[in-house]
C-alpha cells in the first residue's frame, strides 16, 4: 500500500500542527503554497487562521481556482476553523468581497464565539468517530448556522450549535484537533484519500 500524499494549505495559520499530526498518522505531507505543489497531492487540509487572509492569498498565488476544481472533482479535504469557512458555500459576517472555495451546502457564521479570550475546550460525543468523547479546542471558531440537504451534521454543542459537518469527501470542523493531538478527524480525512486511491 502506498502512503497517502496529502497537502496542507500553507498560506497562513497553524500549518505546522497539521503537518505534524498528519505525518504522525503516516501521511506524506506537502506544504502547498503554489499550484504546482497542489498538483502533487491527493487530499488537502485547510488549517485554522484568518479566512480573509487565506482567501486573499489563495487568489494571489493562483490556488483558488485549482482548489475549487478539485472540490468539484471529489478530492478529499479537511477544513478546521478558518478551513471550515473556506469550504462553506455561504457566509454570515463576511467582509466585503470575501470569497470561499465552497463545496459544502452550509451557511457558516465567522467568529461566532467572539474574541480569542473567549476560547474554550469541550468534550463532544461524535458517534461517527467512535464511542470515546472527542476533546475539542475552540479559538474564535465559526459555527454552522444552516446545514443544507446535501450536508450532514457530525457534532453540535450542548446548545445545539453545529460545529462539525461533512459532505461527500469534504469534512469541516469549527475547532482545532491538531492543537490537542486528537487524531480521529485527520484519520477520517486520510481514510477518504486512501479510499479514493
For residue 50, give every residue at least 6 positions away whose Cβ sits within 8 Å of its Cβ, in sequence order, or none. Answer: 12, 13, 82
Residue 134, CB-side half-sphere exposure with 13 Å CA sphere: 27
In degrees, rounded to 5, the angle at the alpha carbon of residue 107 between the alpha carbons of residues 183 and 99 is 90
Only one residue has cell 458555500, namely: 89
| Catalytic residue (choose from 18, 178, 182, 186) | 178
Give the number of other Cβ atoms within 10 Å of residue 45's Cβ. Answer: 30
| Residue of 17, 176, 182, 186 marked catalytic | 176
The active-site residue out of 17, 18, 81, 182 is 81
10 Å CB burial of residue 69 (0-12, 13-18, 19+) is exposed
Q: Is 81 a catalytic residue?
A: yes
178 is known as an active-site residue:
yes
Which residues are annotated as catalytic?
A: 81, 176, 178
Amino acid at each position: 500500500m502506498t502512503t497517502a500524499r496529502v497537502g496542507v494549505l500553507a498560506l497562513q495559520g497553524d500549518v505546522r500542527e497539521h503537518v505534524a499530526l498528519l505525518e504522525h498518522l503516516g501521511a506524506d505531507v506537502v506544504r502547498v503554497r503554489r499550484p504546482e505543489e497542489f498538483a502533487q497531492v491527493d487530499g488537502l487540509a485547510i488549517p485554522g487562521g484568518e479566512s480573509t487572509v487565506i482567501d486573499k492569498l489563495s487568489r494571489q498565488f493562483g490556488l483558488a481556482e485549482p482548489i475549487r476544481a478539485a472540490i468539484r472533482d471529489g478530492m478529499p479535504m479537511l477544513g478546521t476553523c478558518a478551513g471550515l469557512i473556506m469550504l462553506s458555500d455561504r457566509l454570515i459576517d463576511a467582509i466585503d468581497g470575501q470569497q470561499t472555495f465552497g463545496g459544502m451546502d452550509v451557511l457558516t457564521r465567522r467568529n461566532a464565539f467572539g474574541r480569542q479570550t473567549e476560547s474554550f475546550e469541550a468534550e463532544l460525543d461524535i458517534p461517527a468517530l467512535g464511542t470515546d468523547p472527542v476533546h475539542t479546542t475552540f479559538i474564535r471558531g465559526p459555527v454552522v448556522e444552516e446545514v443544507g440537504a446535501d450536508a450532514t451534521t457530525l457534532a453540535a454543542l450542548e446548545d445545539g450549535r453545529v460545529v462539525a459537518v461533512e459532505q461527500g469527501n469534504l469534512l469541516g470542523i469549527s475547532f482545532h484537533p491538531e492543537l490537542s493531538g486528537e487524531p480521529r478527524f485527520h484519520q477520517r480525512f486520510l481514510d477518504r484519500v486512501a479510499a479514493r486511491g
